[in-house]
Structure 1
């Protein structure tokens, strides 16, 4: 790896003092930005036309070793169907890559993947593309410090996964000279990514900056993924209370009180140190959304400053005083929450049905149902500020220290080909997945996903034999084993939430200018800390509800109006892309 020019290091060190991860990097359609297309056909292969083997592979539940090798060891994708409104590209003209190259790729650690360099997916991609990769991963829990040290040292790898960790976000990294502006290179060196992102207006709009630049490779899906987080109730709690699934805040209060009476000591597992207190689930009923949202006029507003905030805080303070919440909601980590969830104390949890299908149903045979986000009044429409916008997974950037930009782009571009879509989402053919009669890969009952030779649960194999969050075409509705496993109803719950909740107040992925980014980060950090302290203390009864008035005054003095104006300007630019 080479180093960033010394003249830039003071600038980077200054920026590091204002670290605030900005992950929403997209942009405005500029004059040189290609128009979105309703349908983008794959580019013609320049190398070879493959023999159609769909008759041998589709619907085959007992493939021969020769068939397995044909699928896993060649770029032949003829057996895969065209399963979406847009055809997934199949341009393999860059592979195998002619030059011998090894790319250094930095990525955050994953506790489920001890060594990315020995991951089966990476081994298969390396074989098919001819591009070798050396993954650099810091120890679990040390990602933030490792990233800071890497940037400040100026010693950069070829590719960075999650480049939005850069102070001010991905665009700031490009402006400061850490990452490469790929605008003029994408069409030639990333034909699959180019075709896929241009095949839908939303995908195009959320992967370009306000000034029309293409700065990285984003995870972009064939659809907007289902809502992933909400209210989940143990079926036995409904049976014991004899009550229906609650809808209004008053009905929730009645249900939680009854649940406590029948033996659930802290019926609602409410929150934790990683943010569940601000989920837009209960507070959303009062219009007190977690952070920014779009008001009825389509303007950016701040949830904690809304008129019914005191009513929300009074409600939660009362519920807390009456023992309806887990006592450690302000400090519990993930493991503590799951231990509480499977105990007889908990009746309801706010979490992902994918996660709880694993912890509740699969591991402890606890059935559960999903409830829509609460509403204040009967007849109100349940709502959420979560909307996928077809942006999913994660993103990647190529650094200015990359010695072979063409190879780096080719390696990333493979992820957006039909073969890359199959391998990353579904893993190896045979041991992990088969292909149905329509050409859709699926995890069979004997798959290593469900029957790991090492005895690991699905919550681990979801990463062990495939990549769950990556810069690629992520097909979560078909390839997330926690959704598609036999007997799982996680996907049914998520689909039900998505189809029955209003998302009109959701803010799309925004991009801030270099000047805005540092100011937005500083203000956002201060406002988040202020909100966390006041709201938590009021709910715990350490401050009276009327302390909210002082909170709002401090937020305004801190620069709330400026913060909102920055977001509004970014939204205005987004709408013009």
Structure 2
């Protein structure tokens, strides 16, 4: 009997050893190195945005990733309002981090262009390290669009792009207070004339201080409000697919005339010229001082701003269609995307270059991507994720946080704000009918006028383009603000003539050449 008992105990012990060994082997698949710290510049001021968080090391997802890979991250999160300056200072520093956040549309790019960042020995050319990044390369090579967008014209691979697993439709655009509309008995505006009537009613009948919020260039993030005039605040394609610079076009003048009228009538923020933000400050929003503004689809409805402290219990925000002229169309909005605006470059001089590449690549594996998207705690009510017949979903820690965190704050605390390989269904799966309807209205317009962020110029082209556009951008912005406020010293035709004299046609040629090369990749 004793022999049998000993044999049974030994058998159990062997099974435990095999099981533990199997777990160790599973973890070892993700293990990269011991005692390695990577410094990561990342534009996200978590201390200001999420209670109890100083950096991403306070995130459950990144804690888990450190345990699995052995890599510790020293996060460099610049304070709000200083990130662009902090980014630019990196290139004048002798202390470049191992990993560097870039964002093309937000201006976080190497001044001389992606290829020159490699030629100057600042960014590593990941093309030379593709054997160290099998997960990322498998995803990129699975899609022709990703193949084209993830390299420069010269074939250089300058960064890890954040990628949407199944793509992502528009999630940002114009919104309006539905409870205000109900009070004045009006429908969602569609044309510019509709908008004028609605904003006038908000001002005259409800006493709304800022019927329409626009920032200092009088445009929205993706120039949505000007799209019905066939222009943006800068670069887009016309209906023939040719590059245009918005301020040179007739439609720009028409848009400015409309905004000037609305400014005179008090329909747009009288202090717009000092606002940098894409949406209004909370003290304005939460106290019924703004009638319409651009914002994320996930923030529409009632709950988001109620958690932020909205004083009006009837607060209800809904999305609108992209405004158009009577009988007209709009061809510009936030585009459908396969890649996020985030791009992570690797310091070519890093002492831990290979470890940095492997650490980034790990986040494109199925196991790590799941944790980055959904966290580590399973539970429908008290976890960060749960499963049903339709797959994974965010759990109550994120959708109904017991500590009062908004969904956006909780996703940063328990998962990541934007995962390198993002399952956007995690966000859309929480959407209400109002939020789904908001996106559907945006998608009634197309984005055929949009120019890909992944176009690139040669060093000579970039230098010439920057020389031309530096002065033009400043001039166009100043003219736009002054024109809307009625203080411009030139007519619109004189302004366009000045743009010609500043060599805007050459800048358009350079941009067109870059677009043509991108299309030929």
Q: Normalised by the shorter chain, which TM-score bucket?
A: 0.7 to 0.9
For the 8 Å contact 2:159–2:344, the answer to whether it is kept is yes
Q: Distance in 2 between matches of 1:344 and 1:406?
A: 52
- Map residues 181-192 of structure 1 onto 2, 5 A cutoff: 181-186=125-130, 188-192=131-135
Q: Of 443, 453, 473, which aligns to 1:528? A: 473
- Map residues 83-232 of structure 1 onto 2, 5 A cutoff: 94-97=29-32, 100-110=35-45, 111-112=48-49, 113-162=53-102, 164-186=108-130, 188-232=131-175
Q: Corresponding residue for 1:426? A: 374
Query: Is 1:414 matched up with 2:362?
Result: yes
Query: Is 1:457 matched up with 2:406?
Result: yes
Match of 1:165, SS state, is: coil
For the 8 Å contact 1:452–1:461, the answer to whether it is kept is no
Q: Distance in 1 between matches of 2:482 and 2:75?
A: 43
Match of 1:494, SS state, is: helix
Cα pair distance change 1:141/1:260, threshold 3 Å: closer
Using structure 1 for the length normalisation, give the TM-score: 0.77
Q: Distance in 2 between matches of 1:552 and 1:121?
A: 51
Cα pair distance change 1:302/1:145, threshold 3 Å: closer
Shift of 1:321: 0.8
Q: Corresponding residue for 1:256? A: 199
Q: Distance in 2 between matches of 1:251 and 1:270?
A: 16
Which of these two proteins has the greater Rg computed from alpha carbons?
Answer: 2
Q: Distance in 2 between matches of 1:277 and 1:222?
A: 27
Query: Is 1:324 matched up with 2:275?
Result: no
For the 8 Å contact 1:245–1:371, the answer to whether it is kept is yes
Q: Distance in 2 between matches of 1:219 and 1:432?
A: 26
Q: Distance in 1 between matches of 2:170 and 2:438?
A: 9
Q: Distance in 2 between matches of 1:432 and 1:241?
A: 43
Match of 1:183, SS state, is: helix
1:551-573: CA deviation from partner (whole Å, max 9, x where unpaired):
11221111211111111111111
Match of 1:505, SS state, is: coil
User: Mean Cα displacement is larger for which, 309-318 or 95-104?
Assistant: 95-104
Query: Is 1:311 matched up with 2:249?
Result: no
Q: Distance in 2 between matches of 1:385 and 1:311?
A: 19
Shift of 1:140: 3.6
Q: Corresponding residue for 1:43? A: none
- Map residues 347-362 of structure 1 onto 2, 5 A cutoff: 347-357=291-301, 359-360=304-305, 362=307
Query: Is 1:571 matched up with 2:515?
Result: yes
Q: Distance in 2 between matches of 1:262 and 1:451?
A: 38
Match of 1:330, SS state, is: helix
Match of 2:388, SS state, is: coil
Match of 1:293, SS state, is: strand
**Bigger proportion of residues as helix:** 2
For the 8 Å contact 2:190–2:321, the answer to whether it is kept is yes
Q: Distance in 2 between matches of 1:515 and 1:234?
A: 48
For the 8 Å contact 1:219–1:474, the answer to whether it is kept is yes
1:40-91: CA deviation from partner (whole Å, max 9, x where unpaired):
xxxxxxxxxxxxxxxxxxxxxxxxxxxxxx9xx9897xxxxxxxxxxxxxxx
Q: Distance in 1 between matches of 2:296 and 2:484?
A: 24
Shift of 1:127: 1.3
For the 8 Å contact 1:389–1:508, the answer to whether it is kept is no
Q: Distance in 1 between matches of 2:433 and 2:98?
A: 40
Stretches of structure 2 that go unaligned for 5 or more consecutive residues are: 1-19
Q: Distance in 1 between matches of 2:259 and 2:300?
A: 24
Q: Of 365, 368, 375, which aligns to 2:317? A: 368
For the 8 Å contact 1:266–1:327, the answer to whether it is kept is no
Shift of 1:98: 5.1
Cα pair distance change 1:140/1:201, threshold 3 Å: same
For the 8 Å contact 1:175–1:514, the answer to whether it is kept is no
Shift of 1:496: 3.4
Q: Of 436, 442, 446, which aligns to 2:393? A: 442
Q: Distance in 1 between matches of 2:372 and 2:433?
A: 22
For the 8 Å contact 1:386–1:503, the answer to whether it is kept is yes
Query: Is 1:298 matched up with 2:241?
Result: yes
Cα pair distance change 1:165/1:504, threshold 3 Å: closer
Stretches of structure 1 that go unaligned for 5 or more consecutive residues are: 1-69, 77-91
For the 8 Å contact 2:184–2:202, the answer to whether it is kept is yes
For the 8 Å contact 2:59–2:413, the answer to whether it is kept is yes
Q: Distance in 2 between matches of 1:421 and 1:492?
A: 29
For the 8 Å contact 1:264–1:344, the answer to whether it is kept is no
Cα pair distance change 1:336/1:350, threshold 3 Å: closer
Query: Is 1:518 matched up with 2:463?
Result: yes
Q: Distance in 2 between matches of 1:74 and 1:393?
A: 36
Cα pair distance change 1:369/1:108, threshold 3 Å: closer
For the 8 Å contact 2:127–2:156, the answer to whether it is kept is yes
For the 8 Å contact 2:115–2:156, the answer to whether it is kept is no
- Please provide the CA RMSD for this pair: 2.7
For the 8 Å contact 1:433–1:441, the answer to whether it is kept is no
| Matched length | 481
Q: Distance in 2 between matches of 1:278 and 1:217?
A: 24
Q: Distance in 1 between matches of 2:176 and 2:457?
A: 39
Cα pair distance change 1:134/1:284, threshold 3 Å: same
1:208-249: CA deviation from partner (whole Å, max 9, x where unpaired):
111222121101112442222222121122212222212111
1:282-325: CA deviation from partner (whole Å, max 9, x where unpaired):
32211122211111221111112112322222211111111111
Q: Corresponding residue for 1:398? A: 346
